[in-house]
Structure 1
């Protein structure tokens, strides 16, 4: 089951093309709109718009990096990166989470003083910006829905849908402020949006750190894998089992199997097939096995 990269390239160029062209459109829509937002937030004196702008900036980065990585991480392995380029994807998620954490903290520190003495905001300007935001993001979501579904693209779509929700909040707030003089609505909205961004960025950061620190992936239970291996009659024992993930999707297992003394190479090959078959349902993409005979003191056990 361990995929070898050289034959995988031919057949998926077309759908990558549609993915990246969709992501490109979404990226430029988002980028240009983020710039409009920052300017608009300053002119309308609205923290809520600024916090939405930060959210959008994060998404622009996420889309941009997934555009870059969608092509980059497809490259096979190289001498320098023997595992391939899949780790570049969590790397961009790491950078993105840090941007969002910093941005949301900035908004929170700016918004709290405004709760105490709210400043007047241009509610009409906010209304127009919110409508534009819903339109732009809606357009980007619509564009992405047409394409093939890659994990990247789904993630980006969810980001954009979240943005639409942020804009709906701003829209409602600005309509209320048009009729009622309640400028405190603005910092309240911006705090809600910022806390939401902070919480999500924090969750992402945790996941990404798990990947970098080589924690076992969430979708595979290492004890179940061990007992599945030990249930094979040829396998007496397993140890030194390592299970980690390259990018949250591509999982790798390395394991030492203790087997009967007198197995031939051909039988070992058969056993390897059995192991692969046994673990097929466990979402493991790459398996490395070291065979040992009973009583052979594994190097690693001595330490």
Structure 2
């Protein structure tokens, strides 16, 4: 099986998982919203609102997964794989907005407590927990790219919301302390905030073509000079990610006198793949001394011609 076929198989599997998780979440969202309104529970209403955004987020993730399978064309020579990263970034931003709404509504409810029907709230929350566990198991069976992680983050937020709603309902049933409902909603919102920030940070790094972790220009140059025979210098190194799984790089390599260019090129690409996971690299071989490299040393961002 080729790497392309393997990637397509993963993409098809991810698409199916996201699709079923989307329908599970969207269907139960209506049940939870009605239950929240009837019981007066902010935790349930917030979780229903969260499920509404989740349904949209999962739909976005589903569309992005389908787009990512499209082959490269003239306009997009690297293909559509980055659509998944864009979906992850968008989902992270949506989560931030949702967290803000939950915090605002919770503050309002703490200042102005409302009656809550703990019995119906508990029943709906338990059902919601079961649905969220099923959806999360679906998504965690995927390959763990940023898009799938962003989708799973939404469902994880729902699951935490259901746990909080159950805890609040039990507390209200036995103590009558209704303020526990918005208080637990705040705690869940803060947990979601941390995960959302991580997804945004990672996806933004990919979209801004930042260097993959452990594959900065200096790391690559030093490693190649150490492990590839016949290299006199490595400069103008750029490494970035097309997606969270696909890494690419460009670099200039100046050879020592008498070094075979073909063998050096093959060794460089093999080392980039085995050490840094870079599957696509453009390497410019320089047989003679490069005045630009000598002038700038290991300058990893200067793109002046040699």
TM-score interval (norm. to shorter):
0.7 to 0.9
Pick the aligned partner of 2:275 from 269, 276, 281. Answer: 281
Question: Which string of whole-angstrom CA distances, capped at 9 and with x for unpartnered residues, describes residues 43-65 of structure 1?
Answer: 32222123323433343334323
After TM superposition, the structure 1 stretch with the greater mean CA deviation from structure 2, 218-227 or 8-17, is: 8-17
How far apart are residue 88 of structure 1 and its match? 0.6
Pick the aligned partner of 2:54 from 47, 59, 63. Answer: 59
Q: Do residues 268 (structure 1) and 261 (structure 2) align?
A: yes
Pick the aligned partner of 1:88 from 78, 83, 86. Answer: 83
Distance in structure 1 (CA, Å) of the matches to 2:262 and 2:71: 26
Aligned to 1:46: 41
Q: Do residues 188 (structure 1) and 188 (structure 2) align?
A: no
Q: Is the 8 A contact 1:55 1:197 kept in 2?
A: no
Pick the aligned partner of 2:170 from 162, 172, 175. Answer: 175
Q: Is the 8 A contact 1:105 1:198 kept in 2?
A: no
Aligned to 2:206: 211
Q: Is the 8 A contact 1:51 1:194 kept in 2?
A: no
Aligned to 2:234: 238
How far apart are residue 20 of structure 1 and its match? 3.0
Q: Is the 8 A contact 1:118 1:187 kept in 2?
A: no
Q: Do residues 198 (structure 1) and 201 (structure 2) align?
A: no
The number of aligned residues is 292
Pick the aligned partner of 1:256 from 252, 259, 267. Answer: 252
Q: Is the 8 A contact 2:28 2:131 kept in 1?
A: yes
After TM superposition, the structure 1 stretch with the greater mean CA deviation from structure 2, 180-189 or 111-120, is: 111-120
How far apart are residue 9 of structure 1 and its match? 5.3
Distance in structure 2 (CA, Å) of the matches to 1:237 and 1:106: 54
Q: Please give the secondary structure, in 1, of the residue aligned with 2:284.
A: strand
Q: Is the 8 A contact 2:96 2:196 kept in 1?
A: yes
Q: Call closer, same or farther: CA 1:242–1:208 in 2, change over 3 Å.
A: same
Structure 1 unaligned residues grouped into runs of 5+: 1-6
Q: Call closer, same or farther: CA 1:97–1:18 in 2, change over 3 Å.
A: closer
TM-score by length of 2: 0.84
* Aligned 1:121-160 pairs, distance under 5 A: 121-143=116-138, 149-152=142-145, 155=149, 156=151, 159-160=154-155
After TM superposition, the structure 1 stretch with the greater mean CA deviation from structure 2, 210-219 or 15-24, is: 15-24
After TM superposition, the structure 1 stretch with the greater mean CA deviation from structure 2, 286-295 or 152-161, is: 152-161
Which structure has more RCO (C-alpha within 8 Å, separation ≥ 6)?
Answer: 1
How far apart are residue 8 of structure 1 and its match? 5.4
Pick the aligned partner of 1:247 from 233, 243, 247. Answer: 243
Question: Which string of whole-angstrom CA distances, capped at 9 and with x for unpartnered residues, describes residues 227-253 of structure 1?
Answer: 111123321111111111112221111
RMSD of equivalent CA atoms: 2.8
Aligned to 2:297: none
Distance in structure 2 (CA, Å) of the matches to 1:117 and 1:176: 19
After TM superposition, the structure 1 stretch with the greater mean CA deviation from structure 2, 64-73 or 94-103, is: 64-73
Q: Do residues 112 (structure 1) and 115 (structure 2) align?
A: no
Q: Call closer, same or farther: CA 1:259–1:98 in 2, change over 3 Å.
A: same
